[in-house]
Amino acid sequence: MYKFGVIGPGAVGSVIGESLQNSGYHVTFIGRKEGDVCIERVDKPENTTFPVEAIFEVDTVFDYLFITVKGTQLEGIMPYLDKLTHESTVCILCQNGYGQLDKFQIPGDVYQAVVYISGQKKGNVVTHFRDRILILPENTVTKKLTEVVAATNLDIQLRANYQNEIWYKLIVNVAINSVTALSRNTALILQEEKVQNLCKKLIQEGVEIAAAEGVYFQEKITEEIMQIYAGYPSQMGTSMYYDMINDQAMEVDYIQGFLYAKSKEHDLDTPCLDTVYSLLLASEMKG
Ligand code: NDP
């Protein structure tokens, strides 16, 4: 029987672990320290609690390892990867942004999933709002993974045009995360036309950078993404907004920072991105 590990028992990791555990798979929830994590759903009375083991104490070697810490927390788990993996362990990095895979130096395969699991962790309680979708590039390793987890309700989708999925999510994230974090305000701000216009410009700059990287979107993507934003409840925050108001590290490096680096590499003119990226960096500076 395959051994599954989930490093980072937060909103995304706990839901993945739950899917595996509920279908009888052998899964270890691996956190910073020993404890437990409880998953709740707004419309369902029953909660489920899973034990969490401390990463420095786990001595299991896993066949499949889901890495679900935030991009800003990646450095903290790197020293443990050697002991948790063998030469054909498959690691699935479940994070927003792009460019993180360059950090991995382990013998097995590492793929980044585009994550559509919506949830939030407070204390040791994860509220799961919706979805259990992970999108991965299509190859023999990921095909086998889908077969291995076929009995679970984890919806792993394989895509030949995976790069489009990565870039689409990056572009969705860059506008809404930047404006909510910098204004320290929720999706409510989309009611202001000037904020809508800024979002549209950020989306268009993202589309331009994607095109320079050989990933093309149709013009209607801007309206499509604005429609997605329009569907957000006005009190909804984004992950960067919550990190900003809670004074926690934001995943700027792999979203705005990644796009900024690509923009410079291709010598593009992206004034809105350059501005929001500079201000986000400035907001994290400490004396
Ligand atoms: P969370 O903060 O909910 O979860 C991260 C978990 O990792 C926490 O439980 C944290 O522990 C744990 N962790 C941190 N450092 C370590 C370490 N060194 N060893 C072991 N565990 C550690 O984040 P999310 O699940 O929300 O986000 C994960 C990724 O998924 C991010 O890239 C995010 O952008 C992306 N994403 C999130 C979505 C969402 O709806 N939440 C939607 C789509 C993508 P502790 O609790 O102690 O801090």
Whether 42 shows a pLDDT value over 90: the answer reads: no
Q: Span 162-283: which CATH code?
A: 1.10.1040.10
Output the CA 242–ligand 1 centroid distance in Å.
Answer: 13
CB environment 30-56: b (16+ within 10 A), e (fewer): bbbeeeebebeeeeeeeeeebebbebe
12 CB near ligand 1 (under 6 Å): yes
Any idea where the domains of the chain sit in the sequence? 3-159, 162-283
- The CATH code that applies to domain 3-159 is 3.40.50.720
Query: What confidence tens digit (pLDDT) does each residue in 95-151 have?
Result: 999 999 999 998 889 999 999 999 999 999 999 999 999 999 999 999 999 999 999
**Which residue minimizes the CA distance to atom 46 of ligand 1?**
10
pLDDT at 272 over 90: yes
Average pLDDT, the chain: 97
β partners of residue 30: 7, 53
Question: What pLDDT is attached to residue 63?
Answer: 98
Q: Is the CB of 128 under 6 A from ligand 1?
A: no
> Can you read off the two tokens belonging to residue 239?
């992950």
ipTM confidence: 0.99
- Is residue 242 lining ligand 1, measured as CB closer than 6 Å? no
Q: How far is the CA of 69 from the centre of ligand 1 (A)?
A: 4
Q: Is 119 in the pocket of ligand 1 (CB under 6 A)?
A: yes
Tell whether ligand 1 has an atom less than 6 A from the beta carbon of residue 121.
yes
Q: Whose CA is nearest to atom 8 of ligand 1?
A: 10
Give the H or E element holding residue 93: strand 85-94
User: For residues 165 and 142, is the Cβ–Cβ distance under 8 A?
Assistant: no
Instruction: Assess whether the C-beta atom of 239 lies below 6 angstroms from ligand 1.
Output: yes
Q: Whose CA is nearest to atom 22 of ligand 1?
A: 8
**Is the predicted pLDDT of residue 39 greater than 90, yes or no?**
yes
Residue 43: pLDDT band (50, 70, 90) is confident
How many angstroms is it from 12 CA to the middle of ligand 1?
7
- Total Cβ atoms within 10 A of residue 128: 20
Q: Percent of the chain, pLDDT > 70? A: 100
pLDDT at 245 over 90: yes
CA of 100 to the centre of ligand 1 (A): 15
Distance CA 126, CA 152 (A): 20
Question: Residue 114 in 3-state DSSP?
Answer: strand
Q: Whose CA is nearest to atom 2 of ligand 1?
A: 10
Which ligand 1 atom is nearest residue 77's CA? 18
112 lines ligand 1 (CB under 6 A): no
Continuous segment of H or E residues that includes residue 62: strand 62-67
Q: Check if 96 has its Cβ closer than 6 Å to any atom of ligand 1.
A: yes
CA 23 to CA 25: how far, in whole Å?
6
